[in-house]
Amino acid sequence: MQNSKCKIQHWRRSFVYYVFVILWVARRGAGCQPALQPARRRRYSRAWWLALVLLAVSASAHETIWIEAEHLEGVRGYCWPAGPNPKTDGHWGISGPGWAAEWTQGGESGFMSIACGADDDKAVAGVGVEVPVAGTYQVWVRFRDNREATSRFQVRLTPPGGQPTILTYGERPVIEEDNELKLYWDWAFGWESHEAALTPGQARLELLSAFKEKACRQVDCIVLTTDKTYRPLIKERPAHPAWDVLKAYAKGIDPALKPLARRVGEFALPESWKPRTFRDKGFLYLWNMDQVKWAASDPKRVPHPYHLRDKDVLEAFEKKYAAAAQVPIFSDPRIVPTFHGAGPKILATDAKDAKQKQAAEDFVRWLDANADRPWAMMMNYAPNEPVTPAARENFLKYRERYAGNISGENLGYFDFDAAALKAATAQAKTRRDLAAALTTGALQANAAKYRAVFGQEWPDAYREVIPCLSCGMTAFAPLC
């Protein structure tokens, strides 16, 4: 296959290859020893039966071509529909990895997708594919189905020197307009399929924006399959014989089979491999909070840390569970109240703003009354706002109960010195060299961050940072 980025499952040819290998081995064994012993005769008989089974599976197998949209040629730049200016000019751009909207829908296949601007009707991206067998293919596309608007684009399939097949998608909703996620985000990922009669050999697949629309077009992946029973809902893939083998293993593995591993048996994990928890408390829920009414002195308050977003739900919740000792979910002591900020401004009992000062006093009183309860922060996109003297003093008082500061999709929301980092990595020859340089630069940048937040050198400045990486996991997880 010419383009390795196009994930094509050509397992039928592999099956046929292995069938002939098995037949050759069986025939050679039988020919070399005319007077076979019974055990060997049974062995060769089983080989023939296995070959027949493989041929039967191969004959009934379907062909599938799975293409990640971000692997198409011609994708350049960035276009995130939820961003401030999602525009393109005759090209598709990377959109992803997405966040809340995409994650609540199972995320993007391959962790990425592509998009084009609403008014861009000339965006084109494509890839060469190898059609394995002639037939009618179902051409499925997972894409952004915008609410109360069309989301049109096209897929064009062109054989060398032949006439193109053009398929149009997004002309009508594929997800019902009152779908919960579609109502919440104004769009939802959906799948749409059209048929295309294809001949074996090379073909060009292209993704065309083709139309001006009210909202961005966003495409996750494209699937060509001869399996007419395939009906994806989220990111399911067509059936594959390899999965059948693995599923069979789940029911039990023949004990007579020889393990491939050199070492077999039960092995106890070393102590260092066992996951540690905060203060050995086990699992905790770090729950975002935007208020501390639950820590105030009003006897009619809901007396447990809670956070709900929708106004009508919040009002009904506070009315029903006022002064309640037991509240679904929120009376669980494993819930850790978590506040937004680079530093502990929730502890600023000397704040100039009266509401902030009162909230801090209420929360500190709650911490004193609940000596076994931890607390936490979340720094996502928060500026390095200096904290007050009282906030700094209270932080030291309650630091042992501080579960940490969540750094979502980032090592710690600090800024690397680009020039210094370039110089530090210039002589790196190995991944270990790079890791050492990045670690030094990251710790220095993090120390500078907390120097700005606390107004002084801060010991163990990275001690409570909780890096929750997503797209940077592969690169940076070894550094944490």
Return the beta strands (E) in 209-290 as ranges: 217-225, 285-288
- Predicted confidence at residue 110, as pLDDT, reads 84
User: Which residue from 89, 119, 105 is spatially nearest to 190, judged by alpha carbons?
Assistant: 105
**What is the spatial distance between Cα 476 and Cα 474, in angstroms, rounded to a whole number?**
6
**What is the spatial distance between Cα 99 and Cα 80, in angstroms, rounded to a whole number?**
11
Whole-number Cα distances in Å, 339 to 24, 336, 468, 474: 68, 10, 16, 28
As a three-state string, the secondary structure of 40-54 is HHHHHHHHHHHHHHH
Number of Cα atoms under 13 Å in the Cβ half of residue 54: 20
pLDDT truncated to tens, each residue of the chain (480 aa)?
A: 334 444 444 444 444 444 454 445 445 544 444 444 555 555 555 555 555 544 444 445 789 999 999 999 999 999 999 888 899 999 999 997 887 889 889 889 888 999 999 999 999 999 999 999 999 999 999 999 999 999 999 999 999 989 999 999 999 999 999 999 999 999 999 999 999 999 999 999 999 999 999 999 999 999 999 999 999 999 999 988 888 888 888 888 888 888 887 777 777 778 888 888 998 889 999 999 999 999 999 999 999 999 998 899 999 999 999 999 999 999 999 999 999 999 999 999 999 999 999 999 999 999 999 999 999 999 999 999 999 999 999 999 999 999 999 998 888 999 888 888 899 999 999 888 988 888 888 899 999 999 999 999 988 889 999 998 876 666 666 665
Planar angle of CA 94, 215, 185, nearest 5 degrees = 85
User: Which are the contacts of 303, defined by CB distance < 8 A and separation ≥ 6?
Assistant: 294, 323, 324, 325
Torsion sign (Cα): 418, 471, 434, 4: negative
- Predicted confidence at residue 262, as pLDDT, reads 75
**What is the spatial distance between Cα 347 and Cα 360, in angstroms, rounded to a whole number?**
5
Torsion sign (Cα): 78, 82, 87, 93: positive
- Predicted confidence at residue 471, as pLDDT, reads 64
Q: In what order do the strands lie in the sheet with 124-131?
A: 124-131, 201-208, 153-158, 165-169
Q: Which amino acid is at 293?
A: K
- Predicted confidence at residue 222, as pLDDT, reads 98
**What is the spatial distance between Cα 306 and Cα 178, in angstroms, rounded to a whole number?**
29
Local structure of 103: helix, strand or coil: helix
**What is the spatial distance between Cα 392 and Cα 328, in angstroms, rounded to a whole number?**
34
Topology, domain 65-239 = Jelly Rolls (2.60.120)
User: Which residue from 375, 441, 453, 436 is spatially nearest to 411, judged by alpha carbons?
Assistant: 441
Whole-number Cα distances in Å, 452 to 9, 400, 418, 443, 449: 54, 22, 19, 14, 5
Phi, psi at 406, each rounded to 5°: -70, 130
Whole-number Cα distances in Å, 381 to 81, 82, 107: 19, 16, 22
**Which run of H or of E encompasses 185?**
helix 180-185
pTM of the model: 0.63
- Predicted confidence at residue 80, as pLDDT, reads 92
Number of Cα atoms under 13 Å in the Cβ half of residue 116: 27
Q: In what order do the strands lie in the sheet with 402-408?
A: 285-288, 335-340, 375-378, 402-408, 465-468
